[in-house]
Amino acid sequence: MTHVDTPTTTPKDWASDQEVRWCPGCGDYSILKAVQMLMPTLGGQPENTVFVSGIGCAARFPYYMNTYGMHSIHGRAPAIATGLAMARDDLDVWVVGGDGDMLSIGGNHLIHALRRNVNLTILMFNNQIYGLTKGQYSPTSEVGKVTKSTPFGSLDHPFNPMSVALGAEASFAARTHDLDRKHMMEMFRRAREHRGAAFVEVFQNCNVFNDGAFGAITAKGVRDDMLIPLEHGQPIRFGADGDKGVVLDDHGALRVVAVSDVGEEALLVHDEARENPGLAFMLSRLAAGPYEPTPIGVLRAIERPDFGGETNRQLAAAQAKSGVGELTALLRSRPTWDVA
């Protein structure tokens, strides 16, 4: 067999010739740049890569990637991407959408893609608002949110996207934010290298309709004390001097403590490979909102058979057992049946 070297690419090879059209200062720019810079390091090729999106500001993403792509319909990107991933296992399939697109009309499609463990890399940009349609509250907006659609304040209890993903037993779940390119690239890398459904929530600023939604935890001056970095196999601690940590208390609840009060040996050691998602779910609920210390990084990464691989295995077994010919030949055969 002749060995063919994979051509080396650069970030420019992954950027399309389309003018990027988001509001000046939008966090989507930094996410796009992180993806374009990451792609050459993954060893893939643009012609073997697909980005599928729904509707919303984030859903413009496929236009700006020099790959195959589809700007689909509202909320249905995970479903459309599922069909593609099932039919073309050789492709690198990404799903991009916002919190409104994926958790409102698209919530059903998202949770089933996750529970089935379809081989997809799913990036959800969470800005806690509907940006494209000019500032209505979204499924992640806080209670009391005043918008054009809730002038007296929203009464809806919001989703926690990470809790939703873990509740659906996503085999990979991570969180990052748009002000840290290095961290984004590492989370996206980990997600893409995962076999199965990989979900990444990205805290993303909408400077026009919800400016500063995550500023209380992601601003440079507060980041050390408000973001809790998760590292597999390491005690969970944070703060500029590592003086704060997380413990599992006697009541079975996670709690932020001062390390000097409990000692490092009392800190919870992060285990992203833990089969039961319960502890990861508790980490996703540690902060009541983006104004309290919040875990970021990989919350869960386990190995589980992916839906496409299991489906192909089942088809092969059925064909071998029944002696039926190739599925492709069957689908292209004449529409006639013998009825006994």
| Secondary structure element (H or E) that encloses residue 188, with its range | helix 181-193
Q: Tell me whether strands 198-203 and 172-177 are parallel, antiparallel or unpaired.
A: parallel
Separation of alpha carbons 333 and 240, rounded Å: 67
DSSP conformation letters of 250-305 = TTS-EEEEEHHHH-GGGSPBP-TT-SSTHHHHHHHTSSSSTTS-EEEEEEEE----
Do 194 and 129 form a contact (C-beta atoms < 8 A)? no
pLDDT for the residue 318? 78
pTM of this structure: 0.92
**Percentage of the chain modeled with pLDDT above 70:** 94
CATH number of this structure's domain 11-213: 3.40.50.970
Length of the chain measured in residues: 340
The model's pLDDT over 84-116, given as tens digits with 9 standing for 90+, comes to 999 999 999 999 999 999 999 999 999 999 999
What are the DSSP E strand ranges found in 110-253?
121-126, 172-177, 198-203, 227-229, 237-238, 244-248
| Secondary structure element (H or E) that encloses residue 51, with its range | strand 49-53
pLDDT-derived band at 1, boundaries 50, 70, 90 = very low
DSSP conformation letters of 69-135 = EEE--TT-HHHHHHHHHHH-TTSEEEEEEEHHHHHTTTHHHHHHHHHHT-S-EEEEEE-SSBTTTTS
Q: Closest Cα to residue 81, out of 145, 38, 72, 259?
A: 72
Handedness of CA 258, 204, 33, 66 (dihedral sign): positive
The residue ranking higher by pLDDT, 333 or 57, is 57
Q: Which of 154-158, 186-190, 317-321 has the lowest mean pLDDT?
A: 317-321
pLDDT for the residue 7? 81
pLDDT for the residue 336? 67
| Secondary structure element (H or E) that encloses residue 50, with its range | strand 49-53
pLDDT-derived band at 330, boundaries 50, 70, 90 = low
Q: Is 334 buried (19+), middle (13-18) or exposed (0-12) by CB count in 10 A?
A: exposed
DSSP state of 211: T
| Secondary structure element (H or E) that encloses residue 165, with its range | helix 161-167
